[in-house]
C-alpha cells in the first residue's frame, strides 16, 4: 500500500510537522491526485495561527470543525494517480489543477453552483485535508481542470489568488464599461487583479497602494497609481475620473474601504476581498444618496475557475513570479511568507 507524506498542522500556533498515513483507496467517484505543486497562501498562515485578526482587540477563531493533524494547502496541481470504480481509468496520468472550494452539494448555494460559499463546506486544505502532501483525495473528477500549457505552479495559484481577483472583478459587471476600475491594494491578489483587469476590460485600470515599490511596479505596466495615504489622492482620483464606478478593495481595512467609498461615482460598487481587519462606518444615508453598493466575495465558483483558466491558457494573463521549494521545507516557506520575503508565490513541490 502507498503512503502519503504530509506537512501537517499538529497544533495551532506550532510549526508544521511531517505526518505519514496510509493512502486511501478512492471510492465511488473519488479521484486520488498525486501532488506536483501546491502554493502557499496568506490564509494558510491564519489557519496555522488558528485565528484571523478582525480589529485591534477582536479575533475570529478558525479552529472549529477540523481534527488535528490536519493538512493545509489549497493551490494544488498534480496528476491523477488512482480513480474510484465510478471513474474511467482513461483519466490516469492526466495533469490537472484542483478546484478546492468544494461544497456539500445540497445547500441552496451549492445548488446554484456557488460551492465556494457553501453552508457546510468541504473546502480542500481548509475543512478537508489539502495539498501540502504527496497525494490529495478529491471527491469528484468535475473539480479537476486541465491547465496545459501553463506551468503547474501557476495553475495551482490561479485556484485561489487568481480566482479571488477574477470573481471580484466580474462582480463589477457593466460598470467596467463606464470608465477605469480602481484596484486598491497591489499585493498578490491585487497584482493578479491588475493583470486580469487589463485583459478583461475596455479601460486601463487605475490602482492605489500605500507602498511606493508596489505603485512603481504598476506604473511600469502603464497604470496610473495613487497613494491613498496622501490627503490629495481623493481629489486627484475624482478629477481624473469624475468618480469611479467599479472598485475592488484587495486590502480589506477600515482605511482602504474608506478611501474606496470616498471616490465612488453615483451608482458605483466596491467589492471587498481583503481580510486585513478593522471596522468601517458610514452615514447610512450615503447608500441611497450615492446609490452605493458595497459587497464582499470569497474566492470564486467552479465555473469562474474554468473561465479564468481559459483566459490564462489563451495567453491573456501575464504570469506572476514563482519560487519553488520542496514539500519538506513547508515551514520555512511559511516563515518566508510571514516575514514578507516573497515576491509572487512560494510553491511547494512533491
Nearer to Zn ion, 122 or 198 (CB): 122
C-beta of 137 vs 159, nearer to Zn ion: 159
Q: Which three cell numbers stand for residue 155?
A: 495553475
Answer yes or no whether residue 103 interacts with Zn ion by CB under 5 A: yes
Question: Among residues 104, 219, 279, 310, which is the contact residue for Zn ion, using CB under 5 A?
Answer: 104
Q: Measured from the CB of residue 106, what is the shortest distance to Zn ion in angstroms?
A: 6
Q: Is 285 left (phi over 0), alpha (psi -120 to 50) or beta?
A: alpha
Query: Is 305 a residue that touches Zn ion (CB under 5 A)?
Result: no
Segment 245 to 284, residues that bind Zn ion, using CB under 5 A: none
167 scored as a contact of Zn ion (CB under 5 A): no
| Closest to Zn ion by CB, 223 or 320 | 320
Closer by beta carbon to Zn ion, 81 or else 249: 249
Find the shortest distance in angstroms from Cβ 16 to Zn ion. 16
- Of 321, 348, 317, which Cα lies nearest the Cα of 334? 348
Could you say whether residue 133 binds Zn ion (CB under 5 A)?
no
Considering only 35-43, 192-200, 215-223, 262-270, which stretch makes contact with Zn ion by CB under 5 A?
A: 35-43
Asked if 118 touches Zn ion (CB under 5 A), the answer is yes
Q: Does the footprint of Zn ion cover residue 107 (CB under 5 A)? A: yes
CA distance 14 to 64: 17
Nearest to 138 by CA among 158, 154, 159, 153: 159
Scan residues 143-162 and list those touching Zn ion (CB under 5 A): 160
Residues facing 78 on adjacent strands: 35, 96
Radius of gyration of the chain (CA): 20
Candidate residues 30, 33, 38, 43; the one interacting with Zn ion per rule CB under 5 A: 43
Kindly give, in sequence order, each residue whose CB lies less than 8 Å from that of residue 332, ignoring residues fewer than 6 positions away: 325
b vs e for 88-102, b when ≥16 Cβ sit within 10 Å of the residue's Cβ?
eeebeebbbbbbbbb
- Is the Cβ–Cβ distance between 167 and 196 less than 8 Å? no
Interface residues with Zn ion (CB under 5 A) are: 41, 43, 103-104, 107, 110, 118, 160
Amino acid at each position: 500500500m502507498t503512503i502519503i507524506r504530509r506537512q501537517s498542522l499538529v497544533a495551532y500556533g506550532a510549526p508544521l510537522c511531517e505526518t505519514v498515513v496510509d493512502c486511501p483507496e478512492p471510492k465511488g467517484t473519488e479521484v486520488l491526485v498525486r501532488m506536483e505543486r501546491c502554493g502557499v497562501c496568506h490564509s494558510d498562515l491564519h489557519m496555522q495561527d488558528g485565528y484571523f485578526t478582525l480589529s485591534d482587540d477582536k479575533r475570529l477563531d478558525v479552529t472549529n470543525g477540523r481534527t488535528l493533524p490536519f493538512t493545509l494547502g489549497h493551490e494544488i496541481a498534480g496528476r491523477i494517480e488512482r480513480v474510484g470504480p465510478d471513474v474511467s481509468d482513461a483519466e490516469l496520468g492526466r495533469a490537472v489543477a484542483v478546484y478546492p472550494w468544494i461544497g456539500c452539494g445540497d445547500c441552496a448555494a451549492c445548488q446554484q453552483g456557488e460551492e465556494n460559499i457553501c453552508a457546510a463546506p468541504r473546502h480542500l486544505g481548509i475543512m478537508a485535508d489539502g495539498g501540502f502532501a504527496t497525494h490529495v483525495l478529491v471527491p469528484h473528477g468535475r473539480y479537476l481542470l486541465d491547465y496545459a500549457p501553463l506551468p503547474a505552479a501557476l495553475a495551482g495559484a490561479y485556484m485561489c489568488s487568481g480566482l479571488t481577483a477574477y470573481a471580484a472583478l466580474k462582480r463589477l459587471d457593466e460598470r467596467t464599461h463606464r470608465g477605469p476600475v480602481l484596484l486598491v491594494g497591489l499585493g498578490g491578489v491585487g497584482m493578479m487583479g491588475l493583470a486580469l483587469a487589463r485583459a478583461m476590460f475596455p479601460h486601463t485600470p487605475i490602482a492605489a497602494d500605500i507602498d511606493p515599490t508596489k505603485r512603481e511596479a504598476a506604473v511600469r505596466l502603464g497604470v496610473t497609481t495613487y497613494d491613498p495615504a496622501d490627503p490629495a489622492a481623493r481629489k486627484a482620483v475624482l478629477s481624473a475620473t469624475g468618480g469611479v464606478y467599479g472598485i475592488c478593495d484587495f486590502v480589506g481595512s477600515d482605511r482602504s474601504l474608506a478611501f474606496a467609498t470616498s471616490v465612488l461615482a453615483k451608482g458605483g460598487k466596491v467589492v471587498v476581498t481583503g481580510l486585513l481587519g478593522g471596522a468601517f462606518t458610514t452615514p447610512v444615508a450615503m447608500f441611497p444618496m450615492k446609490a452605493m453598493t458595497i459587497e464582499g466575495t470569497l474566492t470564486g465558483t467552479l465555473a469562474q475557475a474554468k473561465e479564468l483558466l481559459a483566459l490564462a491558457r489563451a495567453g491573456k494573463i501575464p504570469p506572476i513570479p514563482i519560487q519553488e521549494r520542496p514539500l519538506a521545507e513547508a515551514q520555512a516557506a511559511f516563515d518566508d511568507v510571514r516575514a514578507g520575503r516573497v515576491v509572487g508565490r512560494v510553491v511547494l513541490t512533491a
